[in-house]
Structure formats: C-alpha cells, structure tokens
C-alpha cells in the first residue's frame, strides 16, 4: 500500500468518519472488480438532492418521572 493511499484513507476516516475510510479501503483493495462491485459504486449517487437537505429528524427524549415514595 503506497504512502499516498494511506494518507488518503486516513484523511477520509478522520474527516468523514470511519465509514468513508472503509469505503475507500474497499475500493482500493479490489484488484478485479466484479459486476456487483460496480453496482455498489453507483448506490451513493442515487441519493437525491432532497435527501441531503431534508430537515434532521427530531431527537426524541425520554422523560422519566420519579414519584417520591411517601
């Protein structure tokens, strides 16, 4: 594995999180990509613009009420 590739993977992992780093490792470790590998490459680009900018789902908070015992 070349030094530049290691830097690329580390940067991706640090900046974008482990998933991006893993994705790039998976891409660069293939020496003979299959049709399924190619299909997987195109999964991300199917995400629509609206998917990226949609409001974040509201965070749910569980409130536990403790009733003091008499």
Partner 1 sequence: MNKKITIPFAAAIALTACLFFLNAGCATPELAAYRTLGTTTVLVNAAMNGWGDYVRAGLATPDDQIRVRGAYEKYQASMRVAKSVALAMKDSGAINDPVWMQVVNAVTKSANDVINLIAKFVPSVKPITQ
Which residues make up the interface to partner 1 (CB under 8 A)?
2, 4-5, 7-8, 11-12, 15-16, 20, 23-24, 27-28, 30-35, 37-39, 41-42, 44-47, 49, 52-56
**d(Cα 57, Cα 14) in Å, to the nearest integer?**
25
Nearest partner of 19 among 44, 56, 48, 42, judged by Cα = 44
Answer for the pair 30, 14: CB distance below 8 angstroms, yes or no.
no
Cα 34 to chain centroid distance, Å, stands at 22
Cβ distance to partner 1 smaller for residue 50 or 62? 50
Cβ distance to partner 1 smaller for residue 46 or 60? 46
CB of 27 to partner 1, least distance (A): 4
Tokens of 64: 């536990």
Cβ distance to partner 1 smaller for residue 45 or 63? 45
């Amino acid at each position: 594995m070349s030094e530049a590739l290691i830097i690329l993977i580390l940067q991706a992992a640090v900046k974008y999180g482990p998933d991006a780093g893993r994705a790039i490792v998976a891409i660069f470790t293939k020496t003979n990509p299959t049709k399924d590998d190619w299909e997987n490459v195109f999964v991300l680009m199917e995400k629509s613009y609206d998917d990226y900018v949609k409001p974040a789902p509201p965070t749910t908070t569980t409130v536990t009420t403790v009733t003091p015992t008499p």
